Chain A
Amino acid sequence: MKKGLSNKTWLCILGGVMALCAAAAALVFLRMPKGAVAVVTLDGEEVHRVDLSAVTEDYELSFTGKSGITDVVEVAPGKIRVRQADCPDQVCVKQGWIGTGVAPIVCLPNRLVIEIADGAGKVDGVTG
């Protein structure tokens, strides 16, 4: 006769897995953004993340990529922009504030991207 695992052992495994599932669900739930969350990446690496609805006072951050170009990012209640950049084309600066939109701000020469990662109603992609 082959000896299987006892009922008690199975109960333990089941309980353990369920606890893990619950923890994972809680983690996902707790990490859900309350408002529009802006994510700043530099050359594909996340360098700043902020819930724009929780911002009460303006602040600025500077990001210098490998190219040596510096983008000054301004964060304000509900919105974010590249205020100043020493890139030649100024496409990122001209784009102005974003907050509720779907299109990201991209400073190509500096490889800086600001995206709004929304909770509900998020689309899969943007053409524009």
Chain B
Amino acid sequence: MKRAMVWGLLLCLALAGCAPQSAQRTIFAMDTVMELTVYGKDAEENVKAAAERINELEKLLSVTREDSEVWALDHAGGETVRISPETNALLRAARAVGEATGGALDVTLYPVVRAWGFTTGEYQIPDGGTLEELLKKVDYRAIRVEPDETGPANATLPAGAEVDFGALAKGYAGELCAGMLRGSGVESALLSLGGNIQTVGNKPDGSPWVVAVQDPAGEGGESLGTVELTDQAAVTSGGYQRFFEENGVRYWHILDPETGLPARSGLVSVTVVGESGTLCDGLSTACFVLGKDASLDLWRRCGETGLWPTHETTGMADEGGFDLILVGEDGVVTVTAGLRDRFRLDENTGHTLQIVEE
């Protein structure tokens, strides 16, 4: 009788305690709002460490903070600047994505982005002469880094050129934090860095994380579909995220480094899913610029392996390939083979699904 009651009591406690231990943190950093959720024991301590890491990275990588490393690099007037392993990792990632995409991602485009007012919200259409002049300084290949390996280094930027890691930093922050959390024994975490999703493991119940992809055409931020993630990142770039209109024409913030004009490639949004958040972040912008055919070519070439063999190029812990969800102006959603069973298009969105097998 007594034993039965003890078991009953234990069962009751187990049921009451079945909600997993978790901790959540909302932080404003890197020009966005971030929500960090960590599960498991020491969740509070781990989520705090992740938030602190992101704030540290922001101090290093911000293009507007006068005490950041990026600011020092951008205002060195052609002089050589000592950079941290983190800044070096991003320069290396930027070069890898730039080279693989024919310069569709160029981290030295910042002065052109500023000329459009996308950095301040005071939007304007720069005239052709201004763009031509600014584009002369845009070339990621002109950044010199010595030694050409991971770790701290010396970097030199041509006078007048400016780098900005806006297209990489959030993905990198997510990737670094995920690595750090895994190292602390965390088996389940979801980091939402302003539309950049980075996951650690699966949900506490063991099923994959389910992340909605925003419908680029939807008026109220509706869902286009969902994608399942396990230990992966998902990053989206779209023309609907930041834009202004003038005389009925929409101008968005993703610019083609070739022309300095908003990229019009026939795509309205690109979502990249993969193990490396940095790669996903950089490629989402680059593929938006490249358009559907060139993006699928890139996927055929590098989708399996990714762009860097991890430690050797960027020092990042993760490696692996990527898959794409491309949403076209024509309403066609093109999904690459690796997401065949993981992406689900919502009903009644008016889109059609196309799976690319190879």
Contacts and interface: CB of A to CB of B under 8 A. Distances in A.
B218 interface: yes
B226 A123 contact: yes
Contacts of B222: 100-103
B68 interface: no
Contact of A41 (B12, B26, B203): B26
Interface of B: 1-2, 5-6, 8-9, 12-13, 15-16, 26-28, 31-33, 120-122, 190, 192, 194-197, 203, 209-214, 216, 218-223, 226-227, 234-236, 238, 241-243, 269, 271
A53 B241 CA distance: 27
Contact of B220 (A4, A97, A111): A97
Contacts of A123: 210-212, 223, 226
Contacts of B234: 127
Contacts of B203: 124
A4 B3 CA distance: 12
A24 B12 CA distance: 12
A24 B221 contact: no
A17 B12 contact: yes
Interface in A42-79: 43-44, 79
A99 B212 CA distance: 15
A43 to B, nearest CB: 8
A125 B220 contact: no
Nearest to A128: B214
The 6 A-B residue pairs with the shortest CB-CB distance in the complex, in nearest-first order: A128-B214, A103-B221, A89-B121, A101-B221, A88-B121, A44-B26
14 contacts: A7-B1, A7-B5, A44-B27, A95-B221, A102-B222, A102-B223, A103-B221, A108-B28, A123-B226, A124-B203, A125-B212, A126-B214, A127-B213, A128-B214
Contacts of B235: 127
Contact of A127 (B1, B6, B211, B242): B211
A128 B210 contact: no
A128 to B, nearest CB: 2
A4 B6 CA distance: 12
Contacts of A79: 220
B212 A17 contact: no
B209 A124 contact: yes
Nearest to A79: B220
B190 A125 contact: yes
A78 B38 CA distance: 32
Contact of B190 (A21, A97, A124): A124
Interface string A95-128: 1111111111110100101000000000111111
A32 interface: no
A123 B211 CA distance: 6
Contacts of A87: 121
Contacts of A113: 26, 33
Contacts of A111: 28, 33
Nearest to B8: A14
B345 to A, nearest CB: 14
Contacts of A14: 5, 8-9, 12
B33 A88 contact: no
Interface string A6-29: 010011011001101100100000
A101 B8 contact: no
Contacts of A126: 192, 195, 197, 211-214, 221, 223
A99 B220 contact: yes
Contact of B221 (A11, A41, A104): A104
